[in-house]
Amino acid sequence: MNIRLLSTPPHPCSYLPDEQSAALFVDPGTPLDNGIYQALIERGFRRSGEHLYRPRCAGCDACIPLRLPVERFRPSRGQRRTWRRNADLEVSCGPARFQEEQFRLYRDYLHARHRGGAMDDPTPESYLEFLTSSWSETVFYQFRLEGKLLAVAAADLLGDGLSAVYTFFHPDHQERSLGSYAILRLIHEARRLGLPWLYLGYWIAQCPKMAYKGRYRPHELYRNGGWRRGDHEAD
């Protein structure tokens, strides 16, 4: 199948100051399914709602796709502490559909973390449009403490792994490092399902909000048309 790719015009980068960003994206008229998604994510693409895209910025290649080989993953000392710190949480998995409780948590998270940003003040429609699509197999992992919802991790189920879409969590529990714990749980879940990879999206070494992905090792980076061990590049 031939897939038509379009390009966005340059615009200010959300991650690196004074840089211009642009992306390739799959023509919205293309009929998509999980198989096509799998083929594209293996080539460095990422999903946002119904859209599949890959950065293509003039003079900059800072956004690098990163994936974890779950069987070879070895947690750091800090990651082991995060795992133990959250041992009291109950984790469950459910379909990606609207639930008022999850939406309230999402809204509170954005208001605390991204107040005044483009994503702040979401609606139920924009919430689902961002996290889900009509053709992906998306699931929501819920993290609860004594029945109270603390975090939700949205992930796509692929033929060879899980793709982490987005995680949001209660802003009053910073000490738990819930974002990091969600990644560790997705690694655990991929391993349980017998899937070899966890795709974490784009690692950006120069951006504190995105550099954390390089701390999960070993990992592979997609560069020059192929996946290669990248631990040395994350130091």
Q: Is the pLDDT of residue 230 over 90?
A: no
Q: Is the pLDDT of residue 116 over 80?
A: no
Residue 58 is assigned to a structural domain of this protein: no
pTM: 0.95
pLDDT of res. 178: 98
Average pLDDT over residues 89-108: 97
Residue 74 is assigned to a structural domain of this protein: yes
> In this predicted model, what pLDDT tens digit does every residue of 40-53 receive, in sequence order?
999 999 999 999 99
Average pLDDT over residues 86-114: 95
pLDDT of res. 1: 67
pLDDT of res. 202: 98
Instruction: Give the torsion through C-alpha atoms of 88, 178, 130, 115, to 10 deg.
Output: 130
Q: What domain range includes position 143?
A: 68-201
CATH number of the domain where residue 153 is located: 3.40.630.30
Residue 42 is assigned to a structural domain of this protein: no
Which pair of structure tokens corresponds to residue 89? Answer: 């949480």
Q: Is the pLDDT of residue 126 over 90?
A: yes
Instruction: Give the torsion through C-alpha atoms of 126, 31, 161, 93, to 10 deg.
Output: 40
Strand partners, 85: none
pLDDT of res. 234: 42
Query: Taking the CB of residue 117, how many other CB atoms lie within 10 A of it?
Result: 11
For the ranges 5-9, 61-65, 115-119, 170-174, the lowest mean pLDDT is seen at 115-119
Label residue 195 by pLDDT band (50, 70, 90).
very high
Residue 30 is assigned to a structural domain of this protein: no
pLDDT of res. 113: 83
Residue 131 is assigned to a structural domain of this protein: yes
Label residue 235 by pLDDT band (50, 70, 90).
very low
How far apart, in Å, do the first and last CA atoms of the chain sit?
A: 39
Side by side, the strands of the sheet bearing 90-95 are 90-95, 138-145, 148-157, 161-169, 197-203, 64-69, 220-223, 226-229
pLDDT of res. 121: 82
72 vs 120, higher pLDDT: 72
Residue 92 is assigned to a structural domain of this protein: yes
Domain count, the chain: 1
> In this predicted model, what pLDDT tens digit does every residue of 26-42 receive, in sequence order?
999 999 999 999 999 99
